[in-house]
Amino acid sequence: ESPHSSSLLSHCAASRCLEGRGGAPDQNDLTCLSWLHQRGDLLPLQPLAKVTPLPQQEPRSPALPLPPPPPASSKPPYSFSSLIFMAIEDSPRKRLPVKEIYDWIVNNFPYYRTATGGWRNSVRHNLSLSKSFRRIQRDKSQSVGKGSLWCVCPEYRPGLLEVLRKTHSYHSTNSNLINKPAADNPTFSENAPCPLTPDHEELVTMESTEYQQDEVGRDTEKDPLSDSGYIELHYYQSDQYQYLVLPGDTELDLETVEILQLDVEAQEAAGSLLDL
């Protein structure tokens, strides 16, 4: 039985993420994506009943310096149209060549770092086929690189936003996510392991003696939002449980982490839009 309450996250994370984000969203502006930051109502409000046992872990000696590589991230719930949309919207000039759309997706969704190349074909297929995106010729006088630039057709932008909203909302509350096996958990992406720095240590509260006594591996995942002053995520692994530890005293079990991670991906994807 877990002593941890995910409901704390709803307030903690939401309030942290909303810090410094004053001002009412303008529905006609990019800031209308600020719903992505209001995750207080997107996470389960009631504490989860249990924590997820680790899947058949190999017993490891505490002396082993390196933990096993974490499982690859799961596929983001967003359609290619949504991904393309977010990429373009996140660009300063609201237009991107296909190569930079690839880069944006890879940078924002670790799943695609290791995914086979077929998804790039899908991106191009989407750009070509979807009415939502329009091809514009590059300015030959100053352009470097091949291909055209792609932008979002203004008339389709509200629809794309709505799809993004629905996808986000659905995957933040869908119980199927909670039941997904931990091995498929995206929190522990392949790029997650990194040394715990003193700065990180300061942010971690270790209230459970279980961690201190049984901890066999400890990784951190740099919160993709950390650059924008949001939260720092810390991954703790004991013999029986995996936890995500947030600054302060909020701790999450894997089931909550699953939901949080999806939310973090969405926020990261749209986060910089809010600074425009």
Partner DNA sequence: TGAGCTTTAAACAGCG
Partner DNA sequence: CCGCTGTTTAAAGCTC
The footprint of DNA (CB under 7 A) covers 75, 78-81, 97-99, 102, 116, 118-122, 124-130, 135, 145-148, 150, 163, 170
Closer CB to DNA, residue 170 or residue 194? 170
Least CB distance to DNA at residue 80 (A): 4
**Looking at beta carbons only, is 112 or 236 nearer to DNA?**
112
Q: Looking at beta carbons only, is 109 or 235 nearer to DNA?
A: 109
Looking only at Cα atoms, what is the longest distance across the chain?
Answer: 65
Token pair recorded at residue 220: 């951190």
Do 178 and 255 touch, CB atoms closer than 8 A?
yes
Nearer to DNA by Cβ, of 6 and 130: the residue is 130
Give the shortest CB-184-to-DNA separation in angstroms: 15
Least distance (Å) between residue 113 CB and DNA: 15
For residue 239, give every residue at least 6 positions away whose Cβ sits within 8 Å of its Cβ, in sequence order, or none.
54, 57, 214, 216
Return the H-helix or E-strand segment holding 162: helix 157-173
Nearer to DNA by C-beta: 85 or 241? 85
Integer angstrom CA distances of residue 105 from 97, 131, 164, 204, 260: 13, 20, 15, 30, 19
Phi, psi of 133 (to 5 degrees): -120, 145
As measured in angstroms, the least distance from the Cβ of 165 to DNA is 12
Question: Smallest distance from the beta carbon of 18 to DNA, in angstroms?
Answer: 28
DSSP state, 45?
S
